[in-house]
Amino acid sequence: MRISSYIAIFVVFSCRLCTINSQSLVPALLIFGDSVVDAGNNNYLETIVKANFPPYGRDFVNHKPTGRFCNGKLASDFTAENLGFTSYPPAYLSKNATGKNLLIGANFASASSGYYDETAKLYNTIPLSKQLEFYKDYQKKLVGVAGKSNASSIISGSVYLISSGSSDFVQNYYINPLLYKVYTTDQFSDILLQSYTKFIQELYKLGARKIGVTTLPPLGCVPTVITIFGEDSNECVKKVNKAAISFNNKLNETSQKLQSKLSGLNLVVLDIYQPLYDLVTKPSDNGFFESRKACCGTGLVETSILCNAESPGTCKNATEYVFWDGFHPSEAANKIISDDLLAAGISLIS
């Protein structure tokens, strides 16, 4: 077991002890991004990118699909638990996003969205710019529920989690000649980071001070990406991983600059590339049996509507698989990733 894993376990254990006789470690958790953290907002959109049907959610609470692109809990769900919350921030478009439920935060994420607004437009989902508008609306509702003073404390003391960028590359750039024939991956990364910079600046203006942003995962190791771009190889697609690593390096640099410019901002880059890469390349070391194929269907391409109750060959035990569907980690993998996230983001709650 890696040293970082020991640290993660210690941090998680310590944080949970802190919440035994008290409330959560932070007032609320506000979540923005794509399918990795979408808790069901796409259920309420006219889009094919949904996960509100079996076998999604089969290992979640009550064994029912919620719109999460997973067999069970997302990494952000585990993060909420690690922070001491007894329930999860509601999907903002759901009927649960009202009244006192908003006191613990809200989830604005939308599958197939990204830093690049055009990505969301391709799939009729919610771009980050629109998620920000929903957050402004959330603040108004929060004042109505908690009062102006308490709402201000919640806004400044909460943790903001952002997970975006994967769809920009996999579901737009690499399949869109209008992009990949015009921009290099580095140039496209720069476009995304301009949007990221603007988004962080807007969040900051709205009162956010504790922000965690995840890196891109090893996109070249995602089952669907290997199947489509791997040229009959079962290995991770190097050029796609290279693009992810380059973006992540720039994300770090950009975040450091933002933190130095914006007084009082604690902006932490949370690495999910290495933890997931380790799970993919050394599955048995982490208690997994399969990392090339996903659990759902053939495990090669199925996601969203292609991963359904009729998908032949879906595995019985998803805990043995790193990936649940062709794009998304299983609950078991999300648990490991979330513990690493907490260890990396400890400064956000200290």
- The catalytic residues are 35, 325, 328
Q: CA geometry: angle at 270 spanning 82 and 87, to 5°?
A: 25
Closest-CA residue to 346 (of 73, 2, 37, 4): 4
* 197 burial level (CB within 10 Å; 0-12, 13-18, 19+): middle
Enter the tokens of residue 72: 């069970």
Q: Which helix (H) or strand (E) holds 229?
A: helix 223-229
Enter the tokens of residue 88: 């999860």
Q: Which DSSP string do the residues of 260-302 spell out, in sequence order?
A: HHSTT-EEEEE--HHHHHHHHH-GGGGT-SBSSS-SSTTSSS-
Q: CA geometry: angle at 186 spanning 185 and 192, to 5°?
A: 90
DSSP SS3 for 323: strand
Q: Tokens 């489509």: give the residue.
A: 228
